[in-house]
Structure 1
Amino acid sequence: MNKHHELLDPPMVDGNHSEELVALLNQSLADTLDLAYQTKQAHWNVKGPNFYGLHLLFDQLYIQLATFVDDFAERAVTLGGQAFGTIRAAGAASRLDEYPLDARKGAVHVKALVDRYADYTTRVRAAIEKAEKLGDPDTADLYTAVSRAMDKALWMLTSHQEGD
């Protein structure tokens, strides 16, 4: 085997835990897709005095989540797995609560997103630990980057609850 071909092989992780890592990444892919579209739901339907600021914030958060969707899917494939990223697959696998489709007011959207982002962030932190235990520092690093960004997103969302 030549050196060029070796670079194309999936990376080996300690203990060859790639199947567990791919499953972890696919779960995160489902949760992230769901959170992204719940955030977009808020973006499309927000009303009230803070409409413009929230509309822009929700769209920025959606764009950020879309990047993470791509990162999780590509990491799963890089490890030799298959990414399961259809809306139906994500909807069936997501662990997030269903979004309140009747939400209109900004404060209701913010609260719904705060609850879901907090749950999501907790799950991302658990995934950091699991990836580390499975011997894959690169996947753990991906989750750490997502965790850091979601902490900031959660802070931005909770800041809109000040004074409520």
Structure 2
Amino acid sequence: MYETLNDLSPSIRERMIELLNARLADAIDLRTQLKVAHWNVKGPQFIALHKLFDEIVDDADEYVDLVAERAVQLGGVADGTARQVAERSTLDEYAATGGGNGQEHVDAVADALGQFGRSARQAIEIAASAKDQDTSDIFTEISRGTDKWLWMVEAHRQTGEWVRPSSGDRGEAGRDAAH
């Protein structure tokens, strides 16, 4: 690690750099999967999906920079080559690799966004427990943005018919809201 006047302990910085590089691999992988969707989408919703996927790429580019630059701020090195990403990414392989129609790309992008959002939320907790609020905040921003994009992509999968969950499906949040 590089020396820095950052007041986080070296052990916390080292753990956060490792976390950041793990999520950097996911962010770069997400970005490339989104570009594959953008390039290859076909069908009646082509223009809407083509533009949507490219807008998500723009935000994914910002996530990549936020994560990489935070690793460097903490005295680390950002590991973001194609080989490093291929080795470290936890995202599943893009599911619509054979071209695919709009719906296949919507499903594949939704899956990737869901996985990426889950790993961002896990990173929030890890960084917060290490008392690195700045890194936690970065992942909170990424999680919030990813959830927004997931909502917009999933709207292309939904039929518009909403079904009220049964009382057994509500979980704690549903019980808390009901009381």
When normalised by structure 2's length, the TM-score is 0.84
Report the CA distance between 1:104 and its aligned residue: 1.7
Secondary structure of the 1:161 match is coil
Extract unaligned runs of 5+ from structure 1.
1-7
Q: Which amino acid aligns with 1:155?
A: W
1:10 & 1:160 partners in 2: Cα distance?
A: 48
2:5 & 2:35 partners in 1: Cα distance?
A: 34
2:6 & 2:144 partners in 1: Cα distance?
A: 25
2:65 & 2:108 partners in 1: Cα distance?
A: 24
Whether contact under 8 Å (1:15, 1:134) holds in the other structure is: no
Extract unaligned runs of 5+ from structure 2.
161-179
Equivalences, count: 157
2:29 & 2:157 partners in 1: Cα distance?
A: 23
Whether contact under 8 Å (1:10, 1:79) holds in the other structure is: no
Identity of aligned residues (%): 43
1:57-115: CA deviation from partner (whole Å, max 9, x where unpaired): 00000111011101100000000011001111111110111113114200000001111
Q: Does 1:119 align with 2:115?
A: yes
What is the CA RMSD across the aligned residues, in angstroms? 1.5
Larger radius of gyration: 2
When normalised by structure 1's length, the TM-score is 0.91
1:72 corresponds to which of 55, 67, 76: 67
Q: Which amino acid aligns with 1:135?
A: K
Who is 1:21 aligned against? 16
2:146 & 2:9 partners in 1: Cα distance?
A: 28
Higher helix share: 1
